[in-house]
Amino acid sequence: MTDPQGRGGQALARAFLEQQQLLGGDVVILPDGPTLGSTPGSRPGSVDSRSHAIEPTPGASPGNPNTPAAQPASELPPAGISYDPPGSDLFATDPLPQARSLDAVAQLVASCTKCRLCEARRHTVPGEGPPDARLVVVGEGPGRVEDETGRPFVGQAGELLTKILAAIELPRERVFICNVVKCRPPENRVPQYDEIAACVPYLFHQLDLLKPAVILAMGGTAAQTLLNTKQSLGALRNQVHRFRGIPVIVTYHPAALLRNPNWKKPTWDDVRIARRLIA
């Protein structure tokens, strides 16, 4: 092909198909170049999980008992939990309610010693993104690379998150990305209840300042914290919940997707719902 525009179009199509496949789509065969989904030699443990593309994905088989009844594309999932925690006391001595900007919150986080997670941290990871972000992504807590850099979702799970956001045409730079706890739990263990309780006022205050159109809760810790429930992630998916009135969509954590590529397709469904709520 000599037409540069046609080539550009094909590159675009290829990028699009790669994204589709990343998120659990079926194998696609293009006339030239490598066949997506059947390329041998994927690096083990890499984000690219092409070898799984031919496996059936949940929702692909009509008789799957775990699959909720298909919704027409134009319909949103039903309403779920509404959580409206009381705001903090403006007259208390705690400086957090007085923090007027995300930077001011980050400064308070930087010197925080409210829970034992302060002991082994190298950097606090308050979160990052523009103050006018329409989407806020909430994960669980910083991992090793996040602790080293002070930035959220920059390790392997973060790379996958960046691709997921690109696939719904939301460049990562336009999204506020943060976590329930702002310091790394040792060995990446799940944060404990008292650690979450100590840290969550920072997240709630960030959300009050951001006032996003949608919150995407990735993983059980984020979902259960934002909705004040012990229900499983599976039970919480596919509903439009609310946190202080803001729609909350629950989906799998990107680290879980790296372990179980069968969850990519349902995650793709969830993020598309979140995208529609932003539009």
Choose the one of ligand URA, ligand SF4, none that binds residue 127, judging by a C-beta under 5 to 8 angstroms depending on kind.
none
What does each C-alpha distance from 277 to 182, 203, 269 come to in angstroms?
27, 21, 13
Q: Give the Cα separation of 264 and 251 in Å (integer).
A: 10
The minimum distance between CB 98 and ligand SF4, in angstroms, equals 17
Residues 102-161, interacting with ligand SF4 (CB under 6 A): 109, 112-115, 117-118, 124
Q: Give the Cα separation of 98 and 91 in Å (integer).
A: 9
210 binds ligand SF4 per the rule CB under 6 A? no
**In this chain, which stretch among 38-46, 66-74, 178-186, 239-247 interacts with ligand SF4, using CB under 6 A?**
178-186
Six-digit token pair at 132? 């006018």
Choose the one of ligand SF4, ligand URA, none that binds residue 115, judging by a C-beta under 5 to 8 angstroms depending on kind.
ligand SF4
199 binds ligand SF4 per the rule CB under 6 A? yes
**CA torsion sign, 87 to 89 to 94 to 95?**
positive
**In this chain, which stretch among 35-43, 51-59, 192-200, 270-278 interacts with ligand SF4, using CB under 6 A?**
192-200
CB 50 within 8 A of CB 24: no
Choose the one of ligand URA, ligand SF4, none that binds residue 57, judging by a C-beta under 5 to 8 angstroms depending on kind.
none
CB 108 within 8 A of CB 202: yes
Residue 96 DSSP symbol = G
Short-list 171, 184, 42, CA closest to 122? 184
The minimum distance between CB 183 and ligand SF4, in angstroms, equals 3
What does each C-alpha distance from 78 to 91, 142, 169, 212, 240 come to in angstroms?
38, 32, 25, 20, 6
Choose the one of ligand URA, ligand SF4, none that binds residue 142, judging by a C-beta under 5 to 8 angstroms depending on kind.
ligand URA
The minimum distance between CB 200 and ligand SF4, in angstroms, equals 8
Beta bridge partners of 250: 217
Short-list 164, 161, 198, 165, CA closest to 183? 198
Short-list 156, 163, 187, 162, CA closest to 256? 156
Residues 135-164, interacting with ligand URA (CB under 6 A): 139-143, 146, 152-153, 155, 157-158
CB-wise, 236 or 255, nearer to ligand URA? 255
CB 126 within 8 A of CB 136: no
CB-wise, 80 or 158, nearer to ligand URA? 158
The minimum distance between CB 115 and ligand SF4, in angstroms, equals 3
**In this chain, which stretch among 26-34, 42-50, 177-185, 225-233 interacts with ligand SF4, using CB under 6 A?**
177-185
198 binds ligand SF4 per the rule CB under 6 A? yes
Q: Which residues make up the interface to ligand SF4 (CB under 6 A)?
A: 109, 112-115, 117-118, 124, 181-183, 195, 198-199
Q: Which residues make up the interface to ligand URA (CB under 6 A)?
A: 139-143, 146, 152-153, 155, 157-158, 179, 255
